[in-house]
Amino acid sequence: MNKAELVAQIKKKESYLCVGLDTDINKIPAHLRDSDDPIFEFNKQIIDATHQYCVAYKPNIAFYEALGTKGWESLQRTLDYIPKDIFTIADAKRGDIGNTSKLYAKAFFETMNFDSITVAPYMGVDSVTPFLEFHDKWVILLAHTSNPGSHDFQLIENGEEKALYETVIEKSRQWATAEHLMFVVGATQAERIGHIRSLAPDNFFLVPGVGAQGGDLEAVSKEGMNNECGLLVNSSRGIIYAGSDEDFARAAGMAASNLQAEMKGYLEKYM
């Protein structure tokens, strides 16, 4: 999916919601555990209940690869089930020397056909560019993450008083246009998101950390939105575990619908 198509979906659905499919076998309702593929069964019902409210799905690969070959099969079935007009993110946080990154890119873009992948910038240009060589695919580069440890390295300043996350954004913007490059900016970093927007005016930001991690959706939307919206705001646990019994999918649908309604208001106010 290209940028114009993504923006069109955001406008059509009045939503910039990304539903995180962080499906934990130990957290899914008991009645699903005896089915052939409990992870897929759970995801299928979550997708059925939420697809009208979101523009992206982000399976976090850890939850699938932890289950071995069966987990990879559940992931592929999930990906195949996601409606084609919804943007897909492989949250894999990859990045390695060039020839290895090339095969990570092939795994997620060709073998699995995701639209995008999260990539760690630490190893530099040759670890990121192999992902950028795929037509109509996206790199979502970790810039300023949502977790407490984000302060350990990302805020370290170089000689020019630039924090590492600022250097990551400025440098990587020379490697690709905003048609292929997004940045991860944690919702818990709301006080810096306006500044980050000034560094990357036309790039989309993937913003995880609302819901379970306590990020403020209005602050993120107010400071981070550009005239194309420019945001995909992710919630995983807050949606998929909104309920825990046989009614789980309806509860997830309601949680997604509430976020979409809030987002509609912010699109009207801040875009």
Ligand X SMILES: O=C(O)c1cc(=O)[nH]c(=O)n1[C@@H]1O[C@H](COP(=O)(O)O)[C@@H](O)[C@H]1O
Whether 102 is catalytic is: no
Cα(207)–Cα(74) distance, rounded to whole angstroms?
A: 25
- Rounded to 5 degrees, what are φ and ψ at 265? -60, -40
Number of neighbours of residue 153 by Cβ within 10 angstroms = 12
The pattern of x and - marking residues 221 through 250 that bind ligand X according to CB under 6 A reads -------------xxxxx------------
Distance CA 259, CA 221 (A): 12
DSSP 8-state code for residue 176: S
- Single out the segment in contact with ligand X by CB under 6 A; choices: 128-136, 151-159, 208-216, 224-232: 208-216
Task: For residue 50, state whether it binds ligand X (rule: CB under 6 A).
Answer: no
Q: From the candidates 93, 106, 162, 264, give the one annotated as an active-site residue.
A: 93
Closer to ligand X at the Cβ: 35 or 66? 66
Window 140-169: contact mask with ligand X (x via CB under 6 A):
-----xxx----------------------
The residue among 29 and 208 lying less far from ligand X, judged by its C-beta, is 208
Cβ atoms < 10 Å from Cβ of 57: 27
Closer residue to ligand X in complex, CB, 91/159: 91
For position 20 contacting ligand X by CB under 6 A, the verdict is yes
For residue 230, give Cα distances in angstroms to 37, 120, 141, 191: 35, 20, 15, 17
Report CA torsion sign: 116, 120, 123, 124: positive
Residues acting as catalytic residues: 93
Provide the binding-site residues for ligand X, judged by CB under 6 A.
20, 22, 60, 91, 118, 145-147, 184, 186, 208-209, 211-213, 234-238
